[in-house]
Amino acid sequence: MERGFRLILAASLMLMLLDLCRGSTIGVCYGRNADDLPTPDKAAQLVQQHNIKYVRIYDSNIQVFKAFANTGIELMIGIPNSDLLPFAQFQSNADSWLKNNILPYYPSTKITYITVGAEATEVNSTSLVVPAMQNVFTALRKAGLHKKIKVSTTHSLGVLSRSFPPSAGAFNSSFASFLKPLLIFLAENKSPFMVDIYPYYAFRDSPNNVSLDYALFESSSEVIDPNTGLLYTNMFDAQIDALYFALAALNFRTIKIMVTETGWPSKGSPKETAATPDNAQTYNTNLIRHVINDTGTPAKPGEELDVYIFSLFNENRKPGLDSERNWGLFYPDKTSVYNLDFSGRGSVDVITGANITNTNGTTWCIASSNASDRVLQSALDWACGPGNVDCSPIQPSQPCYEPDTLVSHASFAFNSFYQQNGASDVACSFGGLGVRVDKNPSYDKCLYMTTGSNKTLSTNATAIPTTSHSLAGKVHTSKSSWTFMISFLLFLAIDSIRGW
């Protein structure tokens, strides 16, 4: 019986580790504030044609539910601010809504998130959000769906009183009575903190303080956080880390962040000179690659981050400046505003719109700094085991021994295995412990291997890589890589059992 228990435990650990390797995802917001859009079924076809797997809508429209039924596309649905009052007042209203509007279409329509209100701090409806969220959660729990459909609400970056430097990130104290119960709810139910992030507005409103390249992920220089020494090459990461530091300051370190809106307009008013198709294409192309690479942020390297691009279509009924009506990836006739590679495997020529691949791109594999010492030690032992990689450079008095830390030694070993096995995705998995990066981690005389050689490039580890780095050519997974993954997970599972 003990042997059977151990086998079950090992299998469970393997499944858990495989789930950890899911990786970051890219979705698209499907707003419908327009009078010239295609029907929902045509929109669903367009989404499928471009292999988009995650879609956010802002209501619980039945026609949209029907259009996305049996497509496998995961839907984030919403309860608008205008509907919050009845949800907050009575549990029965949430129960009826779920019974009549959701359950008839679930699970053929794959609903995974419900946003209760949107940017409530901007419209002064904060008092209704958490009670409404609690009632929706209770309704889901009654239906046995509270672990399959997560409940949260979205925020603008205005929820922060400080965002620079990122380490000084802090929530606006005037929202304390709203945020405390909200964050408790999110932490208890493992729901993400959802935020809408727009570097475009930061540049537009303060061009003297924010460079266009920094907003577009194109910066060739770095912004240093004076408190942490962390280096930032783009505004997106800086804003995300400001939120992580703000959460940590309130002792909510386990809450994940999800970006529910971000993007760049392709057209604007005369004074909105940065709202161009080229800039929109550059931002979204670099964003997708940044997310799909599981790059993480300087404060959270390798941290998964799910992101939704705003928006699927241009919406001609949105008020405000011209840019407000031109965030779409597609025109209402379903033609592209500009070409965009949703896979993140190639860059896009912003002049011709043609997909091109950078054949000079190089990636390395390092160890996640978030891993526990015990699990990381097991992974290092396996990587340096018989028939795997040469770990002599991380032995005492050798060039890669210092710094004498588990993360540093594991990073060297992980990268050696990664490069020797074709630099495939699987070869850097290590049960979710490996993180692919596009900056050379070599330092001093410690040189990290690159694919196809036993030497590394002689570039400085702090050099900024070209932004046309691509994952093309790395999607093929060899048989040996899968053998590695299975054997490593078995090793880690068995080692964990021995530790009991």
User: With contact defined as beta carbons under 8 Å apart, do 178 and 121 qualify?
Assistant: yes
Q: Label residue 234 by pLDDT band (50, 70, 90).
A: very high
Q: Which domains does the chain have, with CATH numbers?
A: 21-330 (3.20.20.80), 364-437 (no CATH)
Which of 236-245, 319-328, 347-356, 431-440 has the least mean pLDDT? 347-356
The mean pLDDT value for 17-42 works out to: 83
Q: Which pLDDT score is estimated for 454?
A: 44
- pLDDT more than 70, % of the chain: 82
3-state DSSP assignment of residue 310: strand
pLDDT: which is higher, 65 or 350:
65
Sign of CA pseudo-dihedral 426, 430, 433, 435 = negative
Q: Label residue 489 by pLDDT band (50, 70, 90).
A: low
Q: Which pLDDT score is estimated for 343?
A: 75
The mean pLDDT value for 432-459 works out to: 72
d(CA 370, CA 372): 7
The mean pLDDT value for 186-193 works out to: 96
Query: Annotated catalytic residue: which of 218, 261, 272, 304?
Result: 261
Tokens 């292999």 belong to residue: 51
Task: Count other C-beta atoms under 10 Å from residue 386's C-beta.
Answer: 4
Is 402 one of the catalytic residues?
no
Q: Label residue 490 by pLDDT band (50, 70, 90).
A: low
Q: Label residue 123 by pLDDT band (50, 70, 90).
A: confident
Residues 34-44 pLDDT 10s: 999 999 999 99
Query: Annotated catalytic residue: which of 74, 119, 218, 402?
Result: 119
Is 90 exceeded by the pLDDT of residue 155?
A: yes
The mean pLDDT value for 288-309 works out to: 90
Which of 128-137, 209-218, 448-457 has the least mean pLDDT? 448-457
Render the burial of 191-228: b for 16+ CB within 10 Å, e for the rest: bbbbbbbbbbebbbeeeeebbbbbbbbbbeeebebeee
The model's pTM is 0.70
Is 119 one of the catalytic residues?
yes
Residues 341-399 pLDDT 10s: 887 654 433 333 333 333 356 888 998 877 778 888 888 988 898 878 899 999 999 98
Instruction: Tell me the H-state helices in 217-330.
Output: 235-249, 277-292
Is 60 exceeded by the pLDDT of residue 281?
A: yes
